[in-house]
């Protein structure tokens, strides 16, 4: 077995490979749930080690678009900058933007970095003036100046911090703010403060020649190959990163405390600002910084998913069993998140495909 199929993610896991029931059936199970084209690389992590389940020609070193898993990188960057005193969670966003940029508030309640990280700023999913996304067309170009103008023109319907509202707009803004504070490009900042300490050499927005050679093509829900969207700088911090299962196993091992890391305090801080999502469909669902936390079936699943044109992703771990799962697909798989929950804890049922 070569390194593409097996990874020991640090000295804390130098032991035997864990047993994962029915691991070789995961790709077939996913296809049976969704019927999409492309394939999946599945990875399992516990205290004994890590196991990659490839789906030829995809393997642990294949480069995928990870979409909104990027938000976890951004949230960890924020937590690390809070730990080092560069920013504070309750700093208003306006503190770090040019004086001419108007930032909305609600009856004097300002949007803070905490609100952006926990999906509670009240900003929409995308700016209202962004052209409608069309799978047959490239992602619309959208500048930072346009982001500023959209921010100034946004009206909040409630005070920041009151309600959950998932927002790529908000995470794009958060990454931009951190970039301004550090005086570095967003990607360079994440590489320096997150990827380098964790040894994630295949996690980038700008692909290296090696990553380009290992990049998986995306597929639509009709199994057709599709041209990927290129995210403009305004939304890079929300969904622009590429990565591999082997790199994300390093990240997940550090998040779970199974691998020592200088980022351990930042990882722990991500789960501290937690509140209920108040979901009627998932009453046990909570929001943290970047992560979601699902309290159900006597367990606590810490997780995040992502999807973009041609790709779907999932990463998470069980607090009860200290087991982690990563699923990276180069197809559009609506059932991927349910599968991730089920693999972390079999008491979470697989939903029948709609």
> Is 352 contained in some domain?
no
Compute φ and ψ for 317, nearest 5 degrees: -150, 160
Q: Which domain holds residue 29?
A: 6-344
Please give the chain's pLDDT, 354 residues, in tens: 333 333 323 323 323 333 444 455 565 665 665 556 788 999 999 888 899 988 889 999 999 999 999 999 999 999 999 999 999 999 999 999 999 999 999 999 999 999 999 999 999 999 999 999 988 898 999 999 999 999 999 999 999 999 999 999 999 999 999 999 999 999 999 999 999 999 999 999 999 999 999 999 999 877 788 888 999 999 999 999 999 999 999 999 999 999 999 999 999 999 998 999 988 789 999 999 999 999 999 999 999 999 999 999 999 999 999 999 999 999 988 889 999 999 999 999 887 655
> Is 353 contained in some domain?
no
Domain of 330: which CATH number? 3.40.710.10
> Is 354 contained in some domain?
no
Global model pTM greater than 0.85: yes
Strands (E), the chain: 6-7, 40-46, 49-53, 64-65, 105-106, 109-110, 218-219, 225-226, 242-243, 275-276, 285-287, 292-296, 299-308, 311-318, 323-329
**What is the tally of structural domains in the chain?**
1
> Is 179 contained in some domain?
yes
What tokens were used for 288?
């943290």
* Strand 105-106 to 109-110 pairing: antiparallel
> Is 351 contained in some domain?
no
> Is 85 contained in some domain?
yes
């Amino acid at each position: 077995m070569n390194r593409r199929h097996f990874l020991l993610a640090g000295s804390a896991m130098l032991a035997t490979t864990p047993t994962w029931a029915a691991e070789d059936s995961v790709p077939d199970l996913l296809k049976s749930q969704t019927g999409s084209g492309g394939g999946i690389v599945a990875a399992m992590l516990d205290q004994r080690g890590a196991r990659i389940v490839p789906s030829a020609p995809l393997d642990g070193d294949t480069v995928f678009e990870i979409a909104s898993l990027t938000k976890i990188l951004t949230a960890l960057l924020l937590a690390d900058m809070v730990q080092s005193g560069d920013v504070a969670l309750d700093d208003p966003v306006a503190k770090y933007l040019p004086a001419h940029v108007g930032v909305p508030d609600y009856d004097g309640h300002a949007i803070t970095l905490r609100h952006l990280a926990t999906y509670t700023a009240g900003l929409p999913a995308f700016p209202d003036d962004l052209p409608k996304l069309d799978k047959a067309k490239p992602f619309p170009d959208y500048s930072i100046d346009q982001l500023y103008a959209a921010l100034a023109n946004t009206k909040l319907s409630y005070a920041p911090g009151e309600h959950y509202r998932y927002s790529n707009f908000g995470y794009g803004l958060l990454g931009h703010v951190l970039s301004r504070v550090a005086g570095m490009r967003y990607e360079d900042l994440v590489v320096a403060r997150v990827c380098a300490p964790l040894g994630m050499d295949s996690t980038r927005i700008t692909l290296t020649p090696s990553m380009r050679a290992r990049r998986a093509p995306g597929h639509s829900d009709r199994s057709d190959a599709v041209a990927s969207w290129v995210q403009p700088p305004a939304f890079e911090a929300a969904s622009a990163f590429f990565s591999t299962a082997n790199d994300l196993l390093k990240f997940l091992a550090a998040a779970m405390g199974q691998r020592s890391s200088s980022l351990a305090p930042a990882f722990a801080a991500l789960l501290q600002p937690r509140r209920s999502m108040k979901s009627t469909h998932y009453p046990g669902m909570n929001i943290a910084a970047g992560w979601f936390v699902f309290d159900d079936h006597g367990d606590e699943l810490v997780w995040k998913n992502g999807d973009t044109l041609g790709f779907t992703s999932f990463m998470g771990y069980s607090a009860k069993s200290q087991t982690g799962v990563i699923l990276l697909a180069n197809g559009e798989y609506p059932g991927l998140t349910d599968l991730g929950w089920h693999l972390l804890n079999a008491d979470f049922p697989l939903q029948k495909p709609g």
